[in-house]
Amino acid sequence: MTTTDTHRTIEAVWRIESAKVIAALTRMTGDVGLAEDLAQDALVAALEKWPASGVPDNPGAWLMATAKHRAIDQFRHGKLLERKHVELDHELRAREASPEGDIHAALDDYVGDDLLRLIFTTCHPVLSTEARVALTLRLLGGLTTDEIARAFLVPEATIAQRIVRAKRTLREARVPFEVPPAAELAARLSSVLDVLYLIFNEGYSATAGDEWVRPALCEDALRLGRILAQLSAQDSEVHGLVALMEIQASRLKARVGPAGEPILLLDQDRGRWDQLLVRRGLAALERAEQLTGTLGPFALQAAIAACHARARTAEETDWTRITALYDALAQLTQSPVVELNRAVAYSMAFGPAAGLEIADTLTAHPALESYHLLPSVRADFLAKLGRFGEAKTELERAASLTRNTRERTLLLDRAKNLGT
């Protein structure tokens, strides 16, 4: 394996394992910023050693062990004693005379789900909503500041500042590493749901890199969503989000071709959709509908996904109902991205001219200035109207804006094949 291949492997491992490492270290240290620093130290060690020694059989365990060794060394040197929870302080002091393995056994004695504790810690109300989402995506999603910025449609420097300030605020406020008590749970749930959805979306449609999907991110978001649904069984939006993620996750295997190329929704082999996940999603949506008379944003999106899931073929999709659901969603969210999706639905239900009319109102929206899907969607409408020259220009612009190589190839191929 070349050094380049090894570095790519390390990057992939980091994407999958970093959240677990940081969560475990946060439990040890009580400081999410310090936990990330220790995890980054382990990553640097991997970058230094693996090209020569080879990738370990269990790279995630190697990162965890390396990070914990560094944490233990710092505990022993007294550098972290003032930051530890009292109980952990006493525990580690009592084990100083014990064999090293006993210390590791104690540190591996998980109580509950560290990832869930971490997400509630990083979504603490002491932080702004924007800071909660950005920090949690960074620590649990393993996303770069650039990827988070693209998800938020804001400058990368803004996200970097939010993350630095958020970690400092949590440290100074001594926020406990715990799932909040029932009385505080509802107030902190909304931003957690937003974070889970953004993590899921990064797995469902990667903003950058060589892969179209990152199933591990989807799995993490879905697992945490299911746990949240158990904790907040009477909250409609929790079940709505779980329903949405279940149904969308059912399509993951059909979203890529044999060579990893993207396959869009209407072109997918629906026989490859995971029907168990579809059934789970529809059941979660039914639960959400039973809990409220008016669906929230996640439940509405789940209802839209359910329309696709129930259609045996693309031609059987109930686009009229989807447009009505998007109308309701647009009123709730006032989101330009939702409005763009509404344009697609209107195009399918009432023709490309109807979709283009909506999309054209978004071309001057500042939040969509660098959003590649706007010119991509407009290109589809223009091509269906026979305006191939304009469509090609839009596809080339979309290709220049995306950071995902698979998506760029798809867009350029569509531009090349226009009118043939």
Read off the pLDDT of residues 214-242 as tens digits, 9 standing for 90 and up. Answer: 898 898 889 889 988 987 889 999 999 99
Concatenate the DSSP letters of all residues of 281-321 into one string: HHHHHHHHHHH-SS--HHHHHHHHHHHHHH-SSGGG--HHH
Give per-residue pLDDT as tens, 393-413: 999 999 999 999 999 999 999
Q: What is the pLDDT of residue 102?
A: 44
Q: How far apart (Å, rounded) are the C-alpha atoms in residues 210 and 15?
A: 14
Q: What is the pLDDT of residue 180?
A: 84
Q: Which of 114, 94, 112 is nearest to 103 (CA)?
A: 94
Whole-number pLDDT of residue 57: 87
Provide the whole-model pTM: 0.76
pLDDT less than 50: residues of the chain: 84-112
Beta-carbon contacts of 335 under 8 Å, excluding residues fewer than 6 positions away, are none
Q: Which of 319, 318, 289, 293 is nearest to 302 (CA)?
A: 289
Q: Is 75:92 a contact under the CB 8 Å cutoff? A: yes
pLDDT of residue 86: 44
pLDDT at 335: 95
Q: How many helices (H) and strands (E) does the chain have?
A: 20, 2
| Spatial contact of 301 and 329, defined as CB atoms under 8 Å apart | yes
d(CA 87, CA 340): 52
- In the numeric block, the tokens 């763009």 are attached to 340
